[in-house]
Amino acid sequence: MKPSLLILMTALGTSALPGAVITSPSGHGEGAHGETIAKSADNSYYSKWYSKFSRGLSWQLELPGPRFLQSYSFVYANDEPSRDPKSWIVEASEDGKKFVKVSEVVNYPSQLRYATRFFPINDPGNYRFYRIRFLENHGSSGFQIAEIAFSDDEVRERQGKATVPTVSSPSGHMGKKNENITKTLDRNKRTKWFTPYSKGLSWQLELPESRICTLYRLTSANDYPGRDPESWIVEGSRNGKDFVKIAEESNVKFETRLLEKEFRIAAPGSYRFYRLTFRKAVNGKDGFQIAEIEFK
């Protein structure tokens, strides 16, 4: 496989690394099903690097010259949390031959699909080569990651946390590429999240810090009223694990297309996670859709 040329970008702000090359010294770069290592740096959450897993599977960044990089980030892939990385070592080198360990993560939990997580390089320096060796995943015979990026930004105080609002579907209803769940946050009511419907379909917002929200807004999508949500519950959580119900709606009707409706939160509190679980769509056989969801 030919090495991939790339410009790496992170959600911390653009950190351009022109002329950089990524390879897999462990020989896993070809991936499987066309999901090569190049997919880990194509700036798309919806593609991924997928490969058979073996201890020591590696991802390597070669720069044109030495750079003082202080952090890196992962975007988690679309499915199968058992393929997520669990333990890994970050190494750096001046010549691509002699590497030193600059960071290590052990027993890191699996994350929500498409979540972005940032990690510090604990012992940064001026290096031309940066390598990640994955020692464990969460039990699968395969390994996957959507994006890997390095940056010269420092993120020590934000390790493992989202630094921008992140949306996901704990029920696995992420939607397809052009009508995926992120469309609910794009502030464009003419795009939408569309997915097959099943009871318990959920939408979850993770904020960088806890916040008291007293209301939320839903905007109906462009077509097919039968796909509109009709009944749901709203929950809040401080840790993403323990949720409490803070609001509930039943028999809601969106009278027109692209209509924004506002709802009050009955029991507001300071939460970092907000989750909507849709109990009923008008006609679930046609699927489910919503244009925008906003918490205030």
| Amino acid at site 256 | T
Which residue ranges does the chain devote to CATH 2.60.120.260?
4-158, 166-295
Distance CA 41, CA 20 (A): 11
Using alpha carbons, select from 217, 234, 231 the residue that is nearest to residue 271: 234
Nearest to 213 by CA among 272, 284, 260: 272
* CA dist., res. 239 & res. 66, Å (int): 39
Identify which of 235, 201, 230 has the alpha carbon closest to the alpha carbon of residue 216. 235
- Using the Cα atoms of residue 187, residue 190, residue 195 and residue 198 in order, give the sign of their dihedral: positive
CB 268 within 8 A of CB 211: no
Q: Is 211 exposed, middle or buried (0-12, 13-18, 19+ CB in 10 A)?
A: middle
Q: With respect to CATH, is domain 4-158 assigned 2.60.120.260?
A: yes
3-state SS, residue 288: strand
Q: How many residues comprise the chain?
A: 296
Give the residues across from 92 on adjacent strands.
Answer: 100, 130
- Nearest residue to 116 via CA among 178, 158, 152: 158
Give the list of residues 6+ apart from residue 196 with CB closer than 8 angstroms, or none: 173, 287, 288
Superfamily of domain 166-295: Galactose-binding domain-like (2.60.120.260)
Alpha carbon distance 78, 70 (integer Å)? 27
Residue 203 near residue 218 (C-beta atoms within 8 A): no
Distance (Å, rounded) from C-alpha 131 to C-alpha 103? Answer: 10
DSSP code of 83? G
Q: One digit per residue, pLDDT tens: the chain, 296 residues?
A: 434 433 343 333 333 467 899 999 999 999 988 999 999 998 877 789 999 999 999 999 999 999 999 999 998 998 889 999 999 999 999 999 999 999 999 999 888 777 888 899 999 999 999 999 999 999 999 999 999 999 887 654 445 555 568 888 999 898 887 898 989 988 899 999 999 999 899 999 998 889 999 999 999 999 999 999 999 999 999 999 999 999 999 999 999 999 999 999 999 999 999 999 999 998 878 899 999 999 99
Strands 201-212 and 270-281, how do they pair?
antiparallel
